[in-house]
Structure 1
Amino acid sequence: MRVLVARCSVDYSGRLDAHLPAATRVLMVKADGSVLVHSDGGSYKPLNWMSPPCSLRVTEPTPEQAAEGAREVWTVSAAKSDDQLLVTLYDIAHDVSEELGIDPGLVKDGVEAHLQKLLAEQVSLLGEGHVLVRREFPTAIGPVDLMVKAPLVAVELADDGAAGSRAHRHVAVEIKRRATIDAVEQLTRYLELLNRDPLLAPVRGVLAAQSIAPQARTLATDRGIECLLLDYDAMRGLDDPDSRLF
């Protein structure tokens, strides 16, 4: 990764045009080719950026740009569109390059990991007769937190007219501390893949979280995904919901 602290101006052209006048900013060039422009504010979100695949070309400034103090010009071009990011660098305060190596990936924080473990042990919270298949059930785009079998009474009747034997169908459970629309989208992608497997289908989804954003609940309901609120303290045995006054 290369990180620069520099006075620069930025012009973006493509789906829309945007201009950032000259100011001191942080420029990041990552190993995947992405280029990000940050200010001293706005949390993690860059002011502007170009996502890979893209190419970076460094050129000398024009005489007019040089007269204004420009030292070099970056032209960052998207590979699959006409989008272009033009960065004109003036004063460079710091320029550091560091090989970060392969990132091991995100490790879930303690609470979320504990929620997964607790729900796996208390799978009956999903409903009577539910049985855990496994935690971290693999898919082509990453593991879904829990795969569970839920009891389902068969529609067909036995020869003597009695109710048919009980069958099971699979349930994919995604667990979050706070579930947002992104969590619904993530679970939707898992379900699309899992339902392609005839040995698993039909697979329904459950979004389990300590809190669920209203927009996420609305989207989940629209997609046939059930929502389950988890009480972390009760699951740990630190609270008895039945003894509460309110």
Structure 2
Amino acid sequence: MSLDKVKVAVSPSLDELIKLVDSALLEGSMLTIFARCKVHYDGRAKSELGSGDRVIIVKSDGAFLIHQNKKREPVNWQPPGSRARLELRDKPVLVSVRRKPRETLEVELEEVYMVSTFRAEDYEELALTGSEAEMAEMIFQNPEIIESGFKPLFREKPIKHGIVDILGQDRKGNIVVLELKRRKAELHAVSQLKRYVEALREEYGEGVRGILVAPSLTSGAERLLRDEGLEFKKVEPPKRRGGKKGRQATLF
């Protein structure tokens, strides 16, 4: 099953498992695996957990959790900042490595019942509420944040394939599409930007630029931007609200 945010495989083949795990780790999606597995930990101590049915969760920040069917706390875990990968041995092994201090958690997947990826967007931090709108205000007030000579003209401009966050012009008169993300931008954001740019190029020709504006981006998003000839501008969202809204103008 595949949705915009969720991909699921029940009793996946090895190829399906590899594809979903690799895509989750590359895109920064949340990875969940229901499996019969063995667990080995090597770090400040050593531990072994025999075969049993467990839930394995790998979050976008590197947190790695293994839950049994009882109790609230994970039976094994790695903190945010750890790096996960899938290794193919006699059985597939999900490995999580923490560098300082050096710790390694290995999960031998004996039988995988289900694997899912979830491209979760969670903005519960109150200080960040509405910050993409605040980013747009900040750019209208200080367009040089994007580049010298940039002129923002429209905010939330409807076009053929969606709504452009900011539509403007550069100093040479080229149309510029800005896609704003208040957190680390992923492949989905690049795909959105690509669709908007392609739609506008159908109407106005090749003189259309696309810029992804975010505090950071995943390595997969960076590669796709480069492959598609799109651009990235590092911009941190404002810490608090304030200021007047930018004035809308006419593009042509």
TM-score norm. by structure 2 comes to 0.43
Between the two structures, name the one with larger relative contact order (CA 8 Å, sep ≥ 6). Answer: 2
